[in-house]
Structure 1
Amino acid sequence: MYPTDTVQSPSAARPLADRQLRRIVIASVAGNAMEWYDFFVYGTAAALVFGHVFFPPGASPLAGSLAAFAAFALGFVARPLGGIVFGHVGDRYGRKASLVWTLLIMGASTFAIGLLPTYAQIGLWAPAALVVLRLLQGIASGGEWGGGVLMISENAPPEQRGYYAAWSQLGVGGGFVLSSAAFLAAQTLPDDLFRTWGWRLPFLASIVIFAIGIYIRRHLPESRDFEQAGQRGARTHLPIVECIRRHPKEILLAMGLRVAENGGAYIFLAFSLVYGKYLGIPNGVMLTGVMIAMIVEMGAMLAWGRLSDRIGRKPVYLIGALSLVACAFPFFWLLDTRATPLVWLALTVGTAVSHGAMIGTLPALVGELFSTEVRYSGVALGHEVASIFAGGMSPLIATALLARYHASWPVSLFLVALGLVTVATLCVMRETRTPHADGPRGDAA
């Protein structure tokens, strides 16, 4: 049985005024977009230039991309540590304090990447420094997602939690669009200038975005659920320990839900750039396609979130996971045509339908698995441990499969496996949707 929070009095449970809730949503989405801009510029640069900038020369383009994605994966290894640290801060001292610190660390490390000397200048110190900064990015990211999601979902009316929580993911899409636009602008430079210093511009520009994000987050109100937990004395001294003791099943469920969502996202949005380069598709075509896909998904995820409020979280999430399985082979068949409209179609359908249904539902679903006093720790731990094996390893595994077989079918089979893991997870979990504003989280619909 899923855990439930203590039912509040009508006055305590009353939703925030629409104006105040809108302010929280806007502030959370804007801050989240700043954070994910920093994160996604690394993923784009890893696919396009980091292989020859920070690693030994003479290797094939695929080998260089493999090395860059290996450093990318290391950042995911650090994410559970960030989830534990910032989950503790968020459950003990407040969601707001945790979110300010994640942005500080992410902004500083991203700006520093833009200043790093290359392998040609300092040798092995270049990839070593890149790995350290990538680890810092990973630690910050480990605490970011859960905090951004909870800031909205804990202030939203329970009967509309799916819709409002889905808004938090617009920050992810917005950050991706901004990072892609920054690289498209940088690529207007001649190719030799882009490869020598032009790629640094999106990283250095992050200082402006970082400053705006810090200002926004410092002026956020605290989560209503967190404050109410403090009023009734429900906070715990070691949230992560208490969460593991009380909710081991829920942590495993959160991990299983994440596999298809996160793994599929990084195949569609990161590995696709490597595969496009392998096919000889211009970088501009691929980046534009990814940007179009993310813009469409930003609208789709809100629709999926609203639908989850009406029919439940499980059916909507299942649509996404099964869609990932269904489009695993057609996605690459369309890319193989090298026809720009079909490439854009593949990216848009794969992202907006399969990934959109999952990421639009996940924020409300995973938060409803845990009680307030350990919710940040539970969400962060389940979400980020799965990131190691799903998001972090997916581009690396896919690139290795492409290098080994020189074909897309092994990557398609890998996508199918990711989708089936999440389908199996959904088969063993109950519906979590809470249809009534005064109902406890975790009840079946």
Structure 2
Amino acid sequence: MSAQPDPQPPTTAADVTVQETPIRKVAAACLAGTTIEFYDFFIYGTAAALVFPKLFFPEASPFIGTLLAFASFGVGFVARPVGGAVFGHFGDRVGRKKMLVISLMLMGASTVAIGLLPTYATAGALAPALLVLLRLIQGVAVGGEWGGAVLMAVEHSAPNRRGFYGSWPQAGAPLGTFLATGAFFLVSLLPGEAFLNYGWRIPFLASAILIAVGLVVRLRVTESPAFQVVRTQHSEARAPLVEVLRNNPRQVLLVAGAFLVQSTVAYIFISYIATYGTTVVGASRPTVLGVILLSAVVSTVLHLAAGAASDRHGRKPVYLAGVIAMGVLAVPVFALFNTGNFGLMLIGHVLMFGIALSLAGGPTAAMFSEMFGTRVRYSGASVGYQLAGVFGAALSPIVAAALFEATKSGYVIAAYVAAMAVISLIAVLLIPESRDTDLLAEDRPAGGHSSSAEQAHSA
């Protein structure tokens, strides 16, 4: 009777050989992609403040037209959790890289199409309907973008550098703001009729060039090492979203709560502030756009600095500092903005958008990624992050406009920001420190921390 062969031990992470693109190349690709995606997303917000009420909702009063324009802006955020769920499912099933390429192409196509839309004067009610449809597609695309980009950066990073390299795709948001605001700043210098007739279309059409560059960069990076391990072990989740909602619902809600104030502040101080600055404060369009433009430069740099600080001091202390600063600074920032003085407006915007928001934004990618196991990380982090967008970013410009219409005071909007900060503060306090988490460990307590076996993986 022949001897039976010894059973083969199961494949472990240490047995898997992965192909890795150098982390700086990965981080640069993630930064390029998120910058382009957020450029596309943010030019809509700027156009919603400056152009769309007149061109797509001309039958309404100025206030109602502004609300309708911001409502069409908010529709994108309602679609973002759908994008997070769909792209998260396939990102956890077939890989992060493929989803990033698809999301970039989807975003580019919808953005260019907005630049080609007929206005209400030409197409009637069909024009705003098409605008909303394309905004929905934008929302789905950017909903899938964020999770894939941050996971590619975080999962390629060494354990002691996840905060820093994870902050690169995070910095794509303010850098995208810089490009979007800069594009509108340049076209806003056109004479009034030229700006409304064709100038506003140029930033949307220019997206085609940026998308082509982004695709070239993204196609040159390898799949995330952590996902390569899961794929080699054939341990992909069958239904990642179902699994994460069944096993990690607390983490999903904590991600949403923690990100709520960031989401609120970002879109009040990118989109609504353009309307507030021109119609309430009485500043010129180039002045307000110039303030946002310069503040975005500061925010881009400080996102990277805050991510690096979270590697040294932990995710929670840095994130908490940002949340508290956003709540405390809300009233002084509006006071500075109300002066109408360019220098004081810039100081106020930098304090909130450039510094406070960046302190929380820098550690965001690493902290949220560390709260979920690899098999469901794309789905869990994406859905939690995008849920905050529905209740923060989607509603905040509308709520801000309604609050001002009811009270004629910007300080009520500041109180609204402070209230969102309190909610986020509670959520962050409930999240355990995760800096030493082993990304390959699938078990996650309520906040995402697990014992570290990371050094073996990184070797």
Q: Give the alignment's TM-score, normalised by structure 2.
A: 0.91
Amino acid at match of 1:442: H
The superposition leaves residues 237-295 of structure 1 with CA deviations (integer Å, 9 ceiling, x where unpaired) of 11111111111111011111110111111112211111101221111111111111111
Q: How far apart are 1:235 and its partner, in Å?
A: 0.8
Q: How far apart are 1:53 and its partner, in Å?
A: 0.6
Aligned residues: 436
Q: Secondary structure at the match of 1:442?
A: coil
Q: Secondary structure at the match of 1:430?
A: coil
Alignment-derived partner of residue 49 in structure 1: 51
Alignment-derived partner of residue 69 in structure 1: 70
Give the alignment of 1:133-212 within 5 angstroms. Answer: 133-212=134-213
Structure 1: distance between partners of 2:39 and 2:160: 31
Larger RCO (CA under 8 A, 6+ residues apart): 1
Alignment-derived partner of residue 239 in structure 2: 238
Greater gyration radius: 2
Q: How far apart are 1:57 and its partner, in Å?
A: 3.3
Q: Secondary structure at the match of 2:392?
A: helix
Alignment-derived partner of residue 319 in structure 1: 321
The superposition leaves residues 140-160 of structure 1 with CA deviations (integer Å, 9 ceiling, x where unpaired) of 111011111001000001111
Structure 2: distance between partners of 1:97 and 1:421: 35
Which ranges in structure 1 are unaligned for 5 or more consecutive residues? 1-5
Contact 2:151/2:369 (8 A) holds in 1: yes
Residue 137 to residue 333, structure 1, CA distance change in 2 (3 Å)? same
Amino acid at match of 1:322: I
Contact 1:71/1:134 (8 A) holds in 2: yes
Contact 2:115/2:204 (8 A) holds in 1: yes
Structure 2: distance between partners of 1:334 and 1:117: 39
Structure 2: distance between partners of 1:444 and 1:323: 31
Residue 435 to residue 240, structure 1, CA distance change in 2 (3 Å)? closer
Which of 426, 442, 445 is matched with 2:449 structurally? 442
2:122 aligned with 1:115: no
Q: How far apart are 1:396 and its partner, in Å?
A: 0.9
Residue 200 to residue 360, structure 1, CA distance change in 2 (3 Å)? same
Structure 2: distance between partners of 1:24 and 1:124: 44
Structure 1: distance between partners of 2:244 and 2:55: 43
Q: How far apart are 1:8 and its partner, in Å?
A: 3.8
Amino acid at match of 1:314: K
After superposing the two structures, state which structure 1 stretch, 233-242 or 128-137, moved more: 233-242
Structure 2: distance between partners of 1:233 and 1:295: 43
Q: Give the alignment's TM-score, normalised by structure 1.
A: 0.94
C-alpha RMSD over aligned residues: 2.0
Q: Secondary structure at the match of 1:274?
A: helix
Structure 2: distance between partners of 1:140 and 1:387: 14
Residue 286 to residue 366, structure 1, CA distance change in 2 (3 Å)? same
Q: Secondary structure at the match of 1:431?
A: coil
Q: Secondary structure at the match of 1:288?
A: helix
Q: How far apart are 1:439 and its partner, in Å?
A: 8.6
Which ranges in structure 2 are unaligned for 5 or more consecutive residues? 1-10, 443-447, 453-459
Give the alignment of 1:25-424 within 5 angstroms. Answer: 25-57=27-59, 59-60=61-62, 62-278=63-279, 279-424=281-426
Amino acid at match of 1:391: A
Contact 1:430/1:444 (8 A) holds in 2: no
Q: Secondary structure at the match of 2:206?
A: helix
Structure 2: distance between partners of 1:260 and 1:58: 31
Structure 1: distance between partners of 2:297 and 2:92: 33
Structure 2: distance between partners of 1:331 and 1:12: 52
Q: How far apart are 1:7 and its partner, in Å?
A: 8.2
Contact 1:46/1:72 (8 A) holds in 2: yes
Structure 2: distance between partners of 1:228 and 1:321: 35
Structure 2: distance between partners of 1:438 and 1:71: 40
Amino acid at match of 1:64: G
Amino acid at match of 1:69: F
Structure 2: distance between partners of 1:21 and 1:80: 28
